[in-house]
């Protein structure tokens, strides 16, 4: 496909970015340690650590890991929410020459067991709140070392002690566990301080991270992200955000809200690595579902960059105290992970004066690979255009290019793409075209300017009497109905039409009726797209990142119908 998007790039953004300047991600972050030493790097629960602190702490933890017999290339799992120990542990793992395996702390034992077995992890760093899960799977894994952290470990005295008391004794958030051979984080840091980190010799083609897919399309697979992949993703994102950073003057270094979990590739690159690269400060939010607490934190800072998913933008915009936050220095509201609905984007713009800039990425692409220009002044309803170094094709089921203007599966090629799925050559081969493009499973159309629009995932499409219905469209329309907070559309079996649309709705207005929703949708959707079934729910199932789980609702429906 001709790179038509390059003609519409924002001024000053290059078509390609040179990624040869760093031998590894470690070389890049260690440059930031030297360059930004005194700058605050991370703030969590009122406690700040500087780049120099992060340098010192991660060197200590890396020295500890090396002292426990781990070999270069061994996988080390980090099972932490957004607490200060996460950046310390992640930087330590990479600096010591190991491979970082990001783990969702909310995993069930089944999910954790699979990831540990699949990755072959030798060590795990876990918050004590989730240590009981590790205990349940430990005998079935190759884990030789367990490091247990507490919420208060890096918060200083007396705050750390108070936080740990509240978490353990008052809120009772730490289920009982028994890991007799585990090492506490504080003990590990003390041991590391008595030794020294042996710097690892790393190259761009070395594996940096195993980033597991969510598993919503089958067994969770580890996307192999090389140091090259992450450097390319980071430098491309840095180049892309420059026009947005010039939107208005700001005071001091960049401040990034990090409410998305750092174990997810979106936040890992867009918050963690980008903050390191730019000398910015990440405001860590351990529990993004606590919207009142999040808004209270927002009041204490002037945020410049706010990466989020649709549900988070929506929840903040609907909170009554959000209007009292100082949004005057917000430069980029970066949306991704799932489709941003127009009603939500309009609500956010009205609140903050900063439009949501929607992008698109996957674990396999080391985060964002397409995005709207960051100096956009309005919501476009698209995922933007390919960012520097990226190329794409839209293909049919035979991997042939579709006709211009027609929907096709998005296939991507870029230095930031994964090297493949960890120890799954057949799965890797199935996901690639013969000429080396990764097939995403997402169906898109591209306009004459090179802007992409997702029409849906292949498997989520609903077939009603031979007509294709895309759930994203139904959900986006329903989100504009007065009194609606959140929506999710799925296909359910139907004798007359093969499949019918079922819509789940979470109400903002308790007085909203099913009849009112139906009447609104009748005005905005053609007959075959209208939901035949509507069900109100108090909440919708979501991943920790905030994506609504259509599959869970589909499975629930199938069980009901087979009962």
Give the C-alpha distances (Å, rounded to integers) separating 542 from 214, 380, 417, 523, 551: 12, 25, 26, 29, 10
pLDDT tens, 134-149? 999 999 999 999 999 9
pLDDT tens, 89-103? 999 999 999 999 999
175: which residues sit within 8 A by CB, 6+ positions away?
129, 132
Residue 395: phi and psi, rounded to 5, are -125, 160
Are 41 and 54 spatial neighbours (Cβ–Cβ below 8 Å)?
A: yes
Provide the mean pLDDT of the chain: 95
Tell which phi-psi region holds residue 384, choosing left (phi > 0), alpha (psi between -120 and 50) or beta: left
* Predicted confidence (pLDDT) at residue 219 exceeds the cutoff of 90: no
State the Cα torsion 263-265-271-272 to the nearest 10°: 60
Q: Could you give the CA distance from residue 122 to residue 59 in angstroms, rounded to a whole number?
A: 19
In terms of Cα–Cα distance, which of 341, 452, 362 is closest to 407?
452
Question: What distance lies between CA 71 and its chain's CA centroid?
Answer: 29
pLDDT tens, 164-182? 999 999 999 999 999 999 9
Give the residue-averaged pLDDT of 25-53: 98
What domains are defined for the chain? 4-19+224-457 (3.40.50.12780), 50-202 (3.40.50.980), 462-562 (3.30.300.30)
* H-only helix segments in 96-184: 109-119, 131-137, 159-165
With tokens 């963690």, the residue in question is 272
Give the DSSP letter of residue 242: H
Instruction: Provide the token pair at 490.
Output: 């799925």
pLDDT tens, 12-31? 999 999 999 999 999 999 99
Q: Could you give the CA distance from residue 253 to residue 50 in angstroms, rounded to a whole number?
A: 12
pLDDT tens, 300-347? 999 999 999 998 999 999 999 999 999 999 999 999 987 888 999 999
Question: Is the bond preceding residue 367 a cis peptide, omega within 30 degrees?
Answer: no
State the Cα angle at 100 between 94 and 105, rounded to 5°.
Answer: 135
Q: Could you give the CA distance from residue 555 to residue 563 in angstroms, rounded to a whole number?
A: 12
What percent of the chain lies above the pLDDT cut of 70? Answer: 99
Instruction: Provide the token pair at 257.
Output: 């809200």
pLDDT tens, 379-391? 999 999 999 999 9
Which pLDDT score is estimated for 415? Answer: 98
Residue 41 binned pLDDT confidence (cut-offs 50, 70, 90)? very high
Which pLDDT score is estimated for 217? Answer: 47
DSSP string, 522-561: HHHS-GGGS-SEEEEES---B-TT--B-HHHHHHHHHHHH
Give the residue-averaged pLDDT of 436-444: 95
Residue 189 binned pLDDT confidence (cut-offs 50, 70, 90)? very high
Which pLDDT score is estimated for 1? Answer: 81
Give the residue-averaged pLDDT of 46-60: 98
Please, what sign has the CA dihedral across residues 114, 118, 122, 128?
negative
Give the residue-averaged pLDDT of 151-173: 98
Residue 215 binned pLDDT confidence (cut-offs 50, 70, 90)? very low
With tokens 């984007």, the residue in question is 345
Residue 541: phi and psi, rounded to 5, are -65, 135
* Predicted confidence (pLDDT) at residue 459 exceeds the cutoff of 80: no
170: which residues sit within 8 A by CB, 6+ positions away?
none
- Global confidence as pTM: 0.89
Which pLDDT score is estimated for 214? Answer: 59
What would you report as the CA-atom Rg of the chain, rounded to the nearest whole angstrom?
23
Residue 249 binned pLDDT confidence (cut-offs 50, 70, 90)? confident
Tell me the longest C-alpha to C-alpha distance in the chain: 73
pLDDT tens, 484-509? 999 999 999 988 888 999 999 999 99
State the Cα angle at 471 between 465 and 472, rounded to 5°.
Answer: 145
If DSSP codes are grouped into helix, strand and coil, which group holds residue 271? helix
Enumerate the β-bridge partners of residue 444. Answer: 408, 454
Which pLDDT score is estimated for 218? Answer: 56
């Amino acid at each position: 496909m001709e790179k038509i998007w390059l003609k519409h790039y924002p001024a000053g953004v290059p078509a390609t970015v040179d990624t040869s300047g760093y031998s590894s991600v470690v070389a890049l972050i260690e440059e930031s340690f030297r360059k930004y030493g005194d700058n605050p790097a991370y703030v969590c629960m009122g406690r700040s650590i500087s780049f120099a602190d992060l340098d010192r702490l991660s060197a200590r933890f890396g020295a500890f890991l090396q002292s426990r017999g781990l070999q270069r290339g061994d996988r080390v799992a980090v099972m932490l929410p957004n607490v200060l120990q996460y950046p310390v542990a992640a930087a330590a793992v990479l600096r010591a020459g190991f491979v970082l395996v990001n783990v969702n702390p909310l995993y069930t034992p089944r999910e954790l067991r699979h990831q540990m077995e699949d990755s072959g992890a030798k060590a795990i760093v876990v918050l004590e709140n989730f240590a009981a899960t590790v205990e349940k799977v430990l005998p079935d894994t190759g884990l030789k070392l367990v490091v247990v952290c507490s919420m208060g470990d890096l918060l200083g005295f007396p705050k750390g002690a108070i936080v740990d008391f509240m978490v353990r004794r008052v809120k009772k958030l730490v289920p009982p566990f028994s890991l007799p051979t585990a090492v506490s984080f504080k003990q590990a840091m003390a041991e590391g301080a008595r030794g020294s980190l042996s710097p690892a010799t790393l190259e761009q083609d070395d594996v940096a991270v195993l980033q597991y897919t969510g598993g919503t399309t089958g067994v969770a697979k580890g996307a192999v992200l090389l140091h090259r992949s992450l450097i390319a993703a980071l430098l491309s994102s840095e180049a892309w955000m420059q026009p947005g950073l010039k939107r208005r003057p700001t005071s001091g270094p960049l401040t990034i809200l990090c409410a998305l979990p750092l174990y997810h590739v979106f936040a890992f690159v867009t918050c963690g690595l980008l903050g390191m690269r730019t000398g910015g400060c990440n405001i860590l939010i351990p529990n993004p579902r606590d919207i009142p607490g999040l808004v209270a934190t927002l009041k204490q800072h002037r945020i410049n960059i706010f990466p989020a998913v649709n549900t988070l933008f929506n929840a903040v915009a609907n909170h009554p105290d959000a209007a009292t936050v100082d949004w005057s220095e917000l430069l980029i509201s970066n949306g991704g992970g799932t489709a941003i609905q127009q009603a939500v984007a309009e609500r956010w713009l009205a609140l903050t004066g900063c439009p949501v800039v929607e992008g698109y990425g996957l674990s396999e692409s080391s985060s964002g690979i397409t995005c709207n220009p960051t100096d956009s002044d309005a919501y476009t309803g698209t995922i933007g255009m390919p960012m520097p170094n990226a190329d794409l094709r839209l293909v049919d089921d035979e991997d042939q290019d579709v006709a211009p203007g027609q929907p096709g599966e998005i296939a991507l090629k870029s230095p930031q793409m994964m090297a493949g799925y960890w120890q799954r050559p057949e799965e890797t081969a199935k996901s690639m075209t013969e000429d080396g493009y990764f097939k995403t499973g997402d169906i898109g159309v591209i306009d004459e300017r090179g802007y992409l629009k997702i029409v849906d995932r292949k498997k989520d499409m609903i077939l009603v009497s031979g007509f294709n219905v895309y759930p994203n469209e139904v959900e986006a329309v329903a989100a504009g109905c007065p009194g609606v907070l959140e929506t999710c559309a799925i296909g359910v079996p139907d004798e007359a039409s093969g499949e019918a649309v079922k819509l789940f709705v979470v109400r903002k207005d308790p007085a909203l009726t099913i009849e009112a929703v139906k009447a609104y949708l009748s005005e905005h959707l053609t007959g075959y797209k209208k939901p035949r079934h509507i069900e109100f729910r108090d909440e919708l199932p979501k991943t920790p990142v905030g994506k609504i789980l259509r599959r869970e609702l589909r499975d629930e429906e199938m069980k009901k119908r087979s009962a």
